[in-house]
Amino acid sequence: MFRNDRGLRAVVVEQGESFGLLTRDHLEFKLTGRLGYGRALNTRRTASELLPAAGSSMAAELDLQSAAQAVLERPEYERYQDLLVLSATGPRIVTVSDIFAAVSAQFRHASLHDPLTGLPNRRMLEEHCPDIGASAGLPGVGMLFIDLDDFKSVNDTYGHRTGDAALTEFARRLARSVGSRGSLMRLGGDEFAVLLTDVDEDAAFAVATRILDSLEGSFLLDGCELHISATIGLALGVDIIAEDMLAGPEVLLRHADGAMLRAKQEGKRRIGRIGPCQEPAPFARQAHIRRRLSSAVVDSALTLHYQPVLDLATGEDAGVEALLRWNDPEIGPIAPDEFIPLAEHTGDIHRIGAWVLDEACAQSRSWIDAGTPRNIAVNVSPVQFAGGTLPSEIQAAVNRHGIPARMLEIEVTEGTAIVDVPSVASQLRELMDMGLGVALDDYGSAYSSLAMLRVLPLTTLKIDKAFIRDIDSDPHTAIIVRGLIQTVNAMGVRVTAEGVERQEQLNILRDLGCDTAQGYLIARPMAPAEFSMVTNEIEDN
């Protein structure tokens, strides 16, 4: 048969109720054999006796990954020969390349789709959506950026299983609301996007309104009734024709994200729109920062600078505060007050905070080894306390770098309100029991009160620069600061003044009994390499 038909690749050999595959390559291998005696040795054998010992068939219901693994486990000389796939309808021959092509397609599909909802992901947007830059001047292209409001509370209250079910249900409602007017995407977490085509502003608003209306009904999941809302940002291609970055859908997505952020600030559960006559730059910048946050640590774009703290009684160095700096390769320098609130909102603050802690401990070890040990204060967001594991994470970092715990101080910043005060207080006591200092940073700038001082265990209180700014020109401010210092010292807590820029401020703080101070008058934040001159500068002051 093989001699008569040179195009014949293989034959199916029936053995009772089973089947085997005899390929041309395997037959020629057997008939050649070692020393060329294969034909003589096998001349009286049947086709079934020449079948590969390792087997050349597999069940049709076997998943593609398992099929590919079975191919790779075959002997090398048989690995890429044809296979026999057995099903209820009978045997059929497939090539190994077909299997690997199917596996490749499956992995390709997985790389472009969200595994939870099955929707296309951000990579799909970047690779397969129309060139928005080229079509920005044409009507009909739009983007909706959808962010579920306070969705973190769903996971925290009901668990991630219920949260995942809610996201899946929202994806179904989103698909029904959009219909054939757009392409859906899940960007990650509780963020979704819809690329609209062939729409004007009214039609785009109509789609966004249907999405909000779809959330009016409650979500019944795992015996729980959830009420979920969303905020939507809308951007149209005609609005970004003057944008410098006309490289694709990323620009349109960033404008929609900026519109969503504005809507969040105005009260959530609404549609935001940055139109052609409005100034999109601040919100587009915020959206760009949100997009880059997740890669800040990976790109090694974060650094720590250290600002010295002066002991006002002795004039000696009282340690340093670690201050985070971000110089993004795309955006450039980004101030902490720009990206920290966004990091708290997105949850990136946990990874960034862990990096800061590890970097500060590594620097402490370096200074100790150089014979110039310094106490380091590290800022921690209240969001980082939410999981209840921060003390163990800090202990692990301290142990990893082999530094004394007493040389580290944790500063709780006030950018976000402390929601679970008892939990935070418990974790702060645990840190103090470990030997760390605990400070309340930026006191008086946001959410803190005298009641907070009574509840939170502290070793240091840092008065915000807003109070220090006028201390040498406004007698009432000096009286307030004096009373605060006396009250806090009576509780056994030290006081640090922030933002000292003039000698008169420093003199008054000494007279008021303030313990320590920091600010540009004493020293600006600097990289570790610049600290060789710090001691002399502090002593001069």
pLDDT tens sequence across 69-83: 777 676 666 666 777
Half-sphere exposure in the Cβ direction for 39 (13 Å, CA): 3
DSSP result, 6-62:
TT--EEEEEETTEEEEEEHHHHHHHHH-GGG-HHHHHTT--TGGGS-TT--EEETTS
Closest CA to 264 of 351, 336, 157, 341: 341
CA 99 to chain CA centroid, nearest Å? 35
Quick one: pLDDT at residue 446? 57
The residue that leads in pLDDT, 138 or 374, is: 374
Q: Is the pLDDT of residue 201 over 60?
A: yes
- Using CA atoms, how far apart are residues 221 and 427, in angstroms rounded to an integer? 33
Quick one: pLDDT at residue 33? 63
**CA separation (Å) from 78 to 20, 60, 69, 93, 395?**
14, 20, 14, 15, 55
- Using CA atoms, how far apart are residues 452 and 375, in angstroms rounded to an integer? 25
Q: If you average pLDDT over residues 160-167, what whole number do you get?
A: 88
Angle at 212 between CA 252 and CA 288, to 5 degrees: 25
Closest CA to 249 of 66, 124, 432, 394: 124
Closest CA to 23 of 12, 34, 39: 12
Q: How many CB atoms are located within 10 Å of the residue 515 CB?
A: 21
C-beta of residue 403 within 8 angstroms of C-beta of residue 347: no
Range scoring the smallest mean pLDDT among 81-85, 389-393, 454-458: 81-85
Residue 450's identity, in one-letter code, is L
> Beta strands of 337-423 (E only): which ranges?
376-380, 408-412
C-beta of residue 263 within 8 angstroms of C-beta of residue 145: no
DSSP result, 253-280:
HHHHHHHHHHHHHTTSSSEEE--TTS--
Q: Is the pLDDT of residue 133 over 70?
A: no
379 — pLDDT class (breaks 50, 70, 90) = very high
C-beta of residue 70 within 8 angstroms of C-beta of residue 58: yes
Closest CA to 503 of 481, 472, 474: 472
DSSP result, 480-509:
HHHHHHHHHHHTT-EEEE----SHHHHHHH
The residue that leads in pLDDT, 391 or 140, is: 391
136 — pLDDT class (breaks 50, 70, 90) = very low
Quick one: pLDDT at residue 36? 62
C-beta of residue 236 within 8 angstroms of C-beta of residue 203: no
Radius of gyration of the chain measured on its C-alpha atoms: 33
Q: If you average pLDDT over residues 480-505, what whole number do you get?
A: 91
For 285-296, the pLDDT digits (tens) are: 777 788 788 888
C-beta of residue 189 within 8 angstroms of C-beta of residue 139: no
- Using CA atoms, how far apart are residues 514 and 311, in angstroms rounded to an integer? 9
φ, ψ (nearest 5 deg) of residue 59 = -75, 145
C-beta of residue 83 within 8 angstroms of C-beta of residue 72: no
Q: How does strand 230-236 pair with strand 271-273?
A: parallel
Quick one: pLDDT at residue 266? 80
The residue that leads in pLDDT, 64 or 430, is: 430
